[in-house]
Amino acid sequence: MGGESFHFVSARLGTSFLVWLVVGIALALPAGLWILQVNMNEMSAGWEGRPGLSVYFELQASTEDIEVAAQQLRKHEQVESVSVTSADQALDEFKTYSGLGDALTLLAENPLPASLTARFAQNIDTDVVDRLIAAVQDLPGVAEVVVEKTWLERLNDLSTAVSRLGVVLAVLFGIGAVLVTASSVRLAIESRLDELRVLKMVGATQGQVRRPFLYFGAIYGFGGGVIAAMLIAVTLVVIEPPLQSLLGSYQQELDLAGFNLGFLAFLLVLASLLGVAGALIAVRQRLNNLELF
């Protein structure tokens, strides 16, 4: 029966390829988004940055004011590090990186304030951050407290959005793949109605009548899965160079994750199951009440 189904599909290769293509495209988008989300998670796990805050002091703030603020932050267990940059250090760094060293020597006094930067633990609650801000911003000498919504947090938000979008698209496109397979299997059933009637007449069970079409569904689904895997692979190859360049500017290495044997096996099994689901819909619609001659 399996060979018969394979023969039927291969004898109509053009039509079968179109079905594979449609199912493949339907599966490629959610599967691709899953790969994207996995990589964003990987990136955020390896990212050196941490959420934190910067405290900018008034120009006339004393060393004691800065130390009090630093101590205030250090005593909290979810603050991993506090680094103080004095006004002189800030000016030196500015001279070094701005290229305006000579011009800055003409200034009568240092225009840059002292500051400190606190780095939080990765899993810090926003409530804790709010309490830290409140504790610091009213201290003497503090001019401004800036909470850094880090690149990492943005990446996490984006990853969550991609993940949810992936789930929604997986459901929608999964339904699409099932319906495409169902309609293709339905056509296969229609083209063999006489044969099916003969089979029922000579005593074939429902299972015997249905089985070849479930195989059709599995073949259509599996083929769609292969196409989806190829589409994703091509997409990854195409986007790799610009992505590598982008991450390089953040001193990050591109190491694409997720597209491995486990993913491929899962994709192909899932695609085959969706195909079988589509075939089941078609055979239930058409074969359950098939009249004999």
Partner 1 sequence: MGHIVLQHVTRRFDNGHEALSDVSVGFEEGSMTFLTGHSGAGKSTFLKLLLRADVPTRGKVLVNDVDIARLAEKRLPRYRQHLGVVFQDHHLLTQRTVFENVALPLRVGGMREREIGRRVRASLGQVDLLGKEGLFPRHLSTGEQQRVGIARAVVTRPKILLADEPTGNLDPQLSAHIMDLFARFNQVGTTVIIASHDIQLIEAMGFRMLQLEHGRVVGDHAATRSTAEWVGETEAPATADLGGQE
Q: CB burial class (10 A; 0-12, 13-18, 19+) of residue 95?
A: middle
Render 49-64 in DSSP notation, one character per residue. ---EEEEEE-TT--HH
Q: In the range 262-291, which residues lie near partner 1 by CB under 8 A?
A: 291
Letters for 204-243 (x = contact with partner 1 by CB under 8 A, - = none) are xxx-x-----------------------------------
Q: CB burial class (10 A; 0-12, 13-18, 19+) of residue 3?
A: exposed
**CA atoms of 236 and 244, how far apart (whole Å):** 11
In the block, residue with structure tokens 């004691």: 64
Would you state the structure tokens that stand for residue 34, as one six-digit string?
């899953």
Nearer to partner 1 by C-beta: 48 or 291? 291
Nearer to partner 1 by C-beta: 71 or 191? 191
The binder of partner 1 chosen from 99, 203, 242, 262 (CB under 8 A): 203
The binder of partner 1 chosen from 84, 129, 175, 199 (CB under 8 A): 199
For position 194 contacting partner 1 by CB under 8 A, the verdict is yes
Q: What are phi and psi of 148, to 5 degrees?
A: -90, 110
The contacts of residue 143 (CB under 8 Å, 6+ apart) are: 56, 57, 58, 61, 113
Near partner 1 by CB under 8 A, which window of 65-73, 189-197, 245-253, 274-282? Answer: 189-197
Residue 208 Cβ vs partner 1, minimum distance, rounded to whole Å: 6
Nearer to partner 1 by C-beta: 97 or 293? 293
For position 193 contacting partner 1 by CB under 8 A, the verdict is no
For position 3 contacting partner 1 by CB under 8 A, the verdict is no
For position 292 contacting partner 1 by CB under 8 A, the verdict is yes
**CA atoms of 118 and 110, how far apart (whole Å):** 23
The binder of partner 1 chosen from 100, 146, 172, 201 (CB under 8 A): 201
Report the interface residues with partner 1, using CB under 8 A.
194-195, 197-206, 208, 291-293
